[in-house]
Homo-oligomer: A and B are copies of this chain.
Amino acid sequence: MFKDCLDFSAEIVEKTIANYLKDFGNIDVVEAMRYSLKGGKKLRAFFVLESAKLFDIGPDLAKWPAAGIEAMHTYSLVHDDLPAMDNDDLRRGRLTVHKKWDDATAILVGDALQALAFELTLNRAVPNCDMLGCNLAKAAGAKGMVMGQALDIYAEKSTAALSLDDIINLQQGKTGALIQWAVTAGAFMANENVKPLENYANFVGLAFQIADDLLDATGDQIKAGKKLMKDASANKATFVSLMGVDSAKKKAQDLIDEACESIAVYGQRSDTLKQAAKFVISRDY
């Protein structure tokens, strides 16, 4: 059930974006945008579509913010992979944009994908699209994702060790902010109480990052489609290095239980979101 919904999200988002980019021409930057958007779990799009479904908003409308959040997430990956940042050669099982093209193209691809994220989200057919757009800007900006990225980079350069609180703060920006936007999108579109979904997002976001650290430390590089063991080789403080593998696994499981509890108010309608929470900590990619 969850896997079907996840596949459906990936399909609808790739189709929506491919259609949208049809008349964008074929210069390198646009080709590289199309390339970078392919693959990946499209988990954030799934969250948008599922939260919309809770309030009877269908994929015909929810596909716009769902496509928007994936454009935003993809921009962050393209820039994060640059030599001046994380310097990665592999992403989603293929060469990173700057390896396949060059740094200038990758910078422009990320820039254009961020603009595309807003273009897709600010579709006038989408209820409260202005609020979604403004929230998206906040989630992506210097108090959200960019803040997390910056703290991450400064941490790598600094000799001061990070505490668990530092890491939580960093991750709430780096991955938590976009996940929270995606999970609450449905409630914002429907003008409904966002609190249950906000709580779910906070628990799932943190569990997602712990799972990412576990994946980095113990995962299979081929399945993951990206370089692993990066944190250990950079001697970087993570949930795993600070808590140990077993405690980190236990913590992630507790967070998922709390996440499922948070959305119990929606009854059976939230079953797929509960399965998603479990997937987040059991995934191998």
Report A's interface with B, CB cutoff 8 A: 21, 24-25, 27-30, 33, 75, 79, 82, 84-85, 102-105, 107-108, 110-112, 114-119, 122-124, 129-131, 133-134, 136-138, 140-144, 146-147, 149-151, 153-154
Q: What is the CA–CA distance of A129 and B82 in the complex, to the nearest angstrom?
A: 33
Q: Which of B24, B137, B140 contacts A122 (CB 8 A)?
A: B137
On whether the beta carbons of B79 and A107 are closer than 8 Å, the reply is yes
On whether the beta carbons of A116 and B137 are closer than 8 Å, the reply is yes
Q: What is the CA–CA distance of A131 and B122 in the complex, to the nearest angstrom?
A: 8
On whether the beta carbons of A136 and B116 are closer than 8 Å, the reply is no
Q: Which of B27, B116, B147 contacts A147 (CB 8 A)?
A: B27
Q: What is the CA–CA distance of A136 and B28 in the complex, to the nearest angstrom?
A: 22
On whether the beta carbons of A124 and B119 are closer than 8 Å, the reply is no
Of A28, A30, A108, A147, the most chain B CB neighbours within 10 A belong to A108
On whether the beta carbons of A118 and B136 are closer than 8 Å, the reply is yes
Which chain B positions have C-beta within 8 A of A129?
130
On whether the beta carbons of B150 and A29 are closer than 8 Å, the reply is yes
Known contacts A142-B33, A146-B108, A124 near B115 by CB under 8 Å: no
Q: What is the CA–CA distance of A108 and B149 in the complex, to the nearest angstrom?
A: 8
Which chain B positions have C-beta within 8 A of A30?
142
Q: What is the CA–CA distance of A195 and B69 in the complex, to the nearest angstrom?
A: 33
On whether the beta carbons of B102 and A115 are closer than 8 Å, the reply is no
7 tightest A-B CB contacts, nearest first: A115-B141, A84-B103, A119-B137, A122-B134, A130-B130, A118-B137, A112-B142
In the complex, what residue of chain B is closest to A75 when comparing beta carbons?
A: B111
In the complex, what residue of chain B is closest to A131 when comparing beta carbons?
A: B124
Q: Which of B28, B107, B111 contacts A154 (CB 8 A)?
A: B28
Question: How far, in Å, is A123 (CB) from chain B's closest CB?
Answer: 7
Which chain B positions have C-beta within 8 A of A105?
150
On whether the beta carbons of B104 and A153 are closer than 8 Å, the reply is yes
Q: Which of B79, B102, B116, B134 contacts A141 (CB 8 A)?
A: B116
Q: Which of B114, B134, B137 contacts A124 (CB 8 A)?
A: B134
Which chain B positions have C-beta within 8 A of A24?
142-143
Q: What is the CA–CA distance of A26 and B35 in the complex, to the nearest angstrom?
A: 36
Which chain B positions have C-beta within 8 A of A115?
114, 137-138, 140-142, 144, 146
Q: Which of B28, B116, B130, B150 contacts A150 (CB 8 A)?
A: B28
